[in-house]
Amino acid sequence: MLWTIHRKLLDYLVGATVASSLGLAAPSLARIPEEVFEEVLSETEESDWDAAERLELLRVLSVDERPRVRHAVAKVLALSPATTASAQDLLKTLAMDRVAAVRHAAAGALSATLGLLTPLERLELACDWAVAEQPELRLAVAQALAVPHPFPASDLVLSNLVNDRVHPVRAAALRSASTRFELDPAALRGIAELALHDSNRAVRTAARHAFRATFEMDAA
């Protein structure tokens, strides 16, 4: 019974989305209250949802015109991280959303995803995002690395982000480095030194704060 309901809901949403993209008349998703979608998304955590259908539902709702719905999709991915390639592609779409709250939620989902991977898989995923052409993806991984899931060369990934051409990415990388290496002053000092003379005042201030903190760590 539940499978039938899920299947009908998914068929309806997919059909409405395809028809809309083709310029055809279709039931408007906007007529469905945001609260309904939020409830449906929360129910996708149940084991009786087929994984492929659940991902398709998230994909359809990730392009809903309402930021609240897209934000709910990102929050679901944070609770059930995107460990497959298709789910990670969806996460990238959300990380480039036009609304900051959705992008921030996507960064949280990326952090949760990193936590479920092996150290080498974390390195591969972090590097993929850190060298992405889109600055939104680089910002998302700079934020996500604040959670200190260990993986090799994480200091090198953050060093690369501290040298990013976009200053919000550099600032986020410094903040994450301060959290990730709070017990490793030498690693943090090496990263902070890269930005002590940054062209952006906010980045310079963050770098100097992190740099000073390393000496307090040494003295503790």
pTM > 0.85: yes or no: no
> Which residue has 């309904």 as its token pair?
36
b/e 162-196 (16+ beta carbons within 10 angstroms → b): bebeeebbbbbbbbbbbebbeeebebbbbbbebbe
Q: How do residues 7-30 score in pLDDT, each as one tens digit? A: 556 566 655 554 444 443 344 566
CB atoms within 10 A of CB 75: 17
Please give the helix or strand (H or E) that residue 210 lies within, else none: helix 201-219
Q: How far apart are CA 162 and CA 138, in angstroms?
A: 11
Assess whether pLDDT exceeds 70 at residue 48.
Answer: no
Instruction: State the chain's maximal CA–CA distance in angstroms.
Output: 69
Residue with tokens 């590097």: 127
Task: Identify the DSSP state of 165.
Answer: S
Which pLDDT value is given to residue 220?
Answer: 61
pLDDT tens-digit series, residues 82-130? 778 888 999 999 999 999 999 999 999 999 999 988 999 999 999 999 9
58 Cβ contact partners less than 8 Å away, ≥ 6 residues apart: 41, 44, 73, 76, 77, 87, 90
Residue 177 Cα distances to 8, 91, 124, 160, angstroms: 46, 23, 18, 12
What residues does each domain of the chain span? 35-116, 148-220
What type of residue is 197? H
C-alpha span between 76 and 113 (Å, rounded):
12
112 token code pair: 């949760």
Model pLDDT for residues 54-85, shown as the tens digit of each residue: 788 788 888 888 898 899 899 888 877 777 88
Question: Was domain 35-116 assigned CATH 3.90.550.10?
Answer: no
Instruction: Check residue 23 and give its pLDDT.
Output: 47
What pLDDT, on a 0 to 100 scale, did the predictor assign at position 57?
A: 79
C-alpha span between 199 and 7 (Å, rounded):
54
- pLDDT of 142-192, one tens digit each? 999 998 888 888 999 999 999 999 999 999 999 999 988 888 889 999 999
pLDDT, residue 76, reads 86
